[in-house]
Structure 1
Amino acid sequence: MIGPVPSVEWERTNSKRLIKMVIKRVAEDVYALQSFDWDRRTFDSILETPKGTTYNSFLIKDEKNILIDSTKPSMAKELLEDLESLNVQIDYIVSQHAEQDHSGAIPALLREYPNAKILGTRACKELLENLLGIPAEKIQNIEDGQVLSAGRHKLNLIVTPWVHWPDTMVSYLLPEGILFSCDFFASHFATTKTITKLEEIQEEAKRYYAHIMMPFSQMIQGNLEKLRNLEIRMIAPSHGPIIEKPEIILDLYGRWSSQTSKKVTIAYISMHGSTELMVKHLTRTLTDLDVNIRVINLANTSTGELIMELVDSRAMIIASPTVLTRPHPSVASMLYLVNMLKPPIKYVALIGSYGWGTLIEKETRKLLGTMNIEFLEPVLIKGKPHKEDFERLDKLAWEIKEKIGEDEK
């Protein structure tokens, strides 16, 4: 079903990085116009992208030609050359999301195709005007469930707000059963292959979900429900590879957004060894209690890896020494990000060692101030832990075990 269009594949250099431009035919008269940024290692200066990324636009050729999404402004020239090679005039530009990596090339497209009509949600229209200076009269609002007929093809426009901006939507193509999903089900993953196996997509899809989608898990549940009755044969996101087995990513999103995991993640850092001794003891006790745990040393593990672990964690244990009465800076910055991304943790416990004084509990509560979580009794000790301190850690381990068990009832 999927295959590259002969003689329509080439490479270019852009911003000192190798950008490979590829046009793929994903169905009869349906094309993916992909830009592979192999060397990109961060996105939005926050999200690590160890496998690069892909910017995807999609063209439906029919009596009316429809372009779904564009690309970032710096790639506009390459996108226009892709369209020229396919010898089309664009009648409609469906802007599924106004963020610049999706819609940044629209001004250039309008200069080349001045009669093209831009379609987007009401929220998208306002954002396109503000972010890109597109005249209001060039943009038509769409309604949820509106069907755009191109001739043989019918495009069902489905509003999916807060996946991950208020303006987002997806488009479902008949008769092919292709879901153009925008950032929904996307990944920052530069690969020319299409995905048919879970292990090919799970890690990068989880990294993307953790940093982009996790704050909106309840909205994701609702938007998944809107897609439930569609016969989806292929998912074509705006970042990452095309997915030929839709159930792979649909099942992952259903699991991640439902917040049913019982895992406990321990995030720690230690300066002189006392906090590490506490972590080792607590880890042994939780293991003996048959609690599923994951231990992350912030000194040698990126915050991004921790955020991925929190996607399917029920509790988080923060283990930090005190630095000038506050949490260690690595812990403080981690907590700031956790508070923003709002993983599905229900319980937080704080442990750690201090010297002459500490305000670490007060600061931790403040840094996680917008999360709906229950703080368990902290275990903070002065100096090196002793027998009674280890007994307090054992008590904490039992409390965590019981809390998670209560959730299962």
Structure 2
Amino acid sequence: MHYQIASGVFWVGALDQDRRLFDSLIPLPDGTSYNAYLVKGSHKTALIDTVDPSKTEILINNLEDIPHIDYVISHHAEQDHSGSLPVIMDRYPECQLLCSEKAREMLLDLLDIPAGRIRVVADGESLSLGNKTLHFIYTPWVHWPETMVTFLEEEGILFSCDFFGSHLATTDIMQDGNHSVLEAAKRYFAEIMMPFRHIIQKNLQKLASLNIRLIAPSHGPVHVNPRGILDAYAGWSSGNVKNLVIIPFVTMHESTRMLVDWLTEELVSRNIPVEQFNLTVSDPGRLAMALLDAATVIIGTPTMLAGPHPLAAYAAVVANALRPPTRFIGIIGSYGWGGKTVETLRALLSNMRAEFFDPILVQGKPKAGHRDEISRLAELIRKKHISAGLI
């Protein structure tokens, strides 16, 4: 399948509707796509990115009527974008591989490509295809250090690589900012881009002067209404949080769940929205999206082998890696005889620039007096949200 998105510009990528896990970690409830684009100028032809190696045959079939390619542009060395490069370069021996300076060494490390066929393009460099001009812009740490994007000046198309992407496999290639696409894009941002919020803001500024009419990412549909996704990225990268508490928790004998339910009731009675995430069944992507929004995170865990339950520890590790804009963190839970649950979780959350509340850990089943402690915690959260201007 190939699809024309503008004059002389074609989507030639591959859908992966059955894939359910990315990087052996990230759930893909809607599959994904590996977007490659062909740009035909009056004198030269360029292929922008390739596909995951598992879908190379589909890319080759989409290019079967293309006898000659002058340039292959690699925005990002990760294999889901560049894994088919060796096959493409064998098929088109005349083509030259263009990439950023840092990408060159990474591609040589990851793939069997002759060094003499790689040319580094500079940040801000332009390339003429005849009646079409490609402009290269370095966008480091979106989400690897070597990434760049390409702007097709005459058509106003930004080929954005992982920037503005979404894991969404759909034959409806052109999308006008509907809710499902923005939801998938937010999930993608939360799971992949959140740790790089500050540099994403700088990269957004680099794009601000461009007259962008379409955004063509490397995953998910093409954004026909670029303003919607640009504004969404500006908001997601801002670090602004909401009057929201999320409670990722695990319970073994219902003691921790009692505390979680009590805290939920106390917070809701104070007009503070709460989202619970039972870590034994919750979608990690939903939790990541909530981390992007929540002012406060309360981790609920029983003590297991003198430490937090492994699922609670895993949630802490993921949050620590994603570095969400969380303002306040608390730990509640239970134990049988003792342990170092709090110390362990605090160590796992060392990257979090947030204020930690005093923990509430109860021995055995919670008693009536523990409800008073939970009530005081809820009131403290309310006051903190007020002082932060969230209520």
Give the structure-2-normalised TM-score.
0.95
- Counterpart among 253, 259, 266 of residue 272 in structure 1: 253
Deviates more, 1:165-174 or 1:253-262: 253-262
Partner of 2:79: 100
Q: Structure 1 pair 73/273, CA: closer, same or farther in 2 (3 Å)?
A: closer
Once the two structures are overlaid, the 10-residue window that deviates more, 369-378 or 28-37, is 369-378
Q: Deviations over 1:175-229 (max 9, x none)?
A: 1111101001111111011211331312221221121111111111111111112
> Given residue 358 of structure 1, which amino acid in structure 2 is its aligned partner?
G
1:165 aligns with 2:128: no
Question: Unaligned stretches of 5+ in structure 1?
Answer: 1-21
Structure 1 residue 75: deviation in Å?
2.5
1:72 Cα offset (Å): 1.9
Give 1:128's match in structure 2, choosing from 107, 111, 114: 107
Q: Determine whether 1:233 maps to 2:201.
A: no
- Give the structure 2 partner of residue 398 of structure 1: 379
Contact 1:68 1:94 in 2 (8 A): yes
Q: Secondary structure at the match of 1:339?
A: helix
CA displacement, residues 313-364 of structure 1 (integer Å, 9 cap, x when unaligned): 2210001111122111211122122222222212110011111113110110
2:48 aligned with 1:68: yes
Q: Does 1:54 align with 2:33?
A: yes
Alignment of 1:333-352 (within 5 A): 333-352=314-333
* Match of residue 205 from structure 1: 185
1:265-319 Cα offsets, whole Å, 9 max, x none, are 1111222222111111111111122223211112321333212211212210001
Q: Distance in 2 between matches of 1:353 and 1:213?
A: 34
Specify the alignment match of 1:366 in structure 2: 347
Higher relative contact order (CA 8 A, sep 6+): 2
Report the Cα distance in structure 2 between the residues aligned to 1:219 and 1:129, rounded to whole angstroms.
26
Residue 71 of structure 1 deviates from its aligned partner by 1.2
- Report the Cα distance in structure 1 between the residues aligned to 2:135 and 2:175, rounded to whole angstroms: 24
Question: Please, which runs of 5 or more residues in structure 2 have no aligned partner?
Answer: none
Counterpart AA for 2:342: E
The aligned counterpart of 1:7 is none
Aligned residue for 1:307? 288
How far the C-alpha of 1:27 sits from its partner, in A, is: 0.7
For 1:247, the equivalent position in structure 2 comes to 227
Q: CA deviation at 1:149?
A: 1.0
Task: Please state if 1:381 is matched with 2:362.
Answer: yes
1:10 aligned residue: none
Corresponding position of 2:57:
77
**1:138 aligned onto 2:123:** no
Structure 2 Cα separation of the partners of residues 204 and 127 of structure 1: 29
Counterpart contact for 1:198–1:248, Cα < 8 Å: no
Contact 2:13–2:58, Cα closer than 8 Å, also in 1 = no
- Contact 2:16-2:32 within 8 A present in 1 as well: yes
SS in 1 for 2:281: coil
Does the CA-based 8 Å contact 1:315-1:346 persist in structure 2? yes
Distance in 2, matches of 1:183 and 1:123, equals 17
CA distance in 1, matches of 2:134, 2:387: 46
Q: Give the conservation status (yes or no) of the 8 Å contact 2:177–2:229.
A: no
8 Å contact from structure 1 (residues 65, 88) kept in 2: no
Q: Please show how residues 12-91 of structure 1 align to structure 2 within 5 Å.
A: 22-62=1-41, 63-85=43-65, 87-91=66-70
> Which of 239-248 and 399-408 deviates more?
399-408
Asked whether the 8 Å contact 1:93–1:117 carries over to 2, the reply is yes
Read off the aligned partner of 1:111 and give its amino acid letter. Answer: D
CA distance in 1, matches of 2:19, 2:54: 14
1:177 lines up with 2:156 in the alignment: yes
Equivalent in 232, 244, 256 of residue 236 of structure 2: 256
Paired amino acid for 2:300: A
Report the TM-score, using the length of structure 1 for normalisation. Answer: 0.91
Quick check: 2:27–2:284 contact (8 Å CA) kept in 1? no
Distance of 2:332 and 2:270 partners within structure 1: 19
Q: 1:65 offset after TM fit, Å?
A: 0.5
Alignment partners' CA distance in 2, 1:302 and 1:57: 29
Equivalent residue letter for 1:366: A
1:327 alignment partner in structure 2: 308
Using the TM superposition, give the Cα deviation of residue 369 of structure 1 relative to its aligned residue in structure 2, in angstroms: 2.0
Which stretch shifts more, 336-345 or 121-130? 336-345
How many Å separate the matches in 2 of 1:134 and 1:228?
35
Identity score, percent? 44
Aligned residues: 387
What SS does the corresponding residue of 1:320 show, helix, strand or coil?
Answer: strand
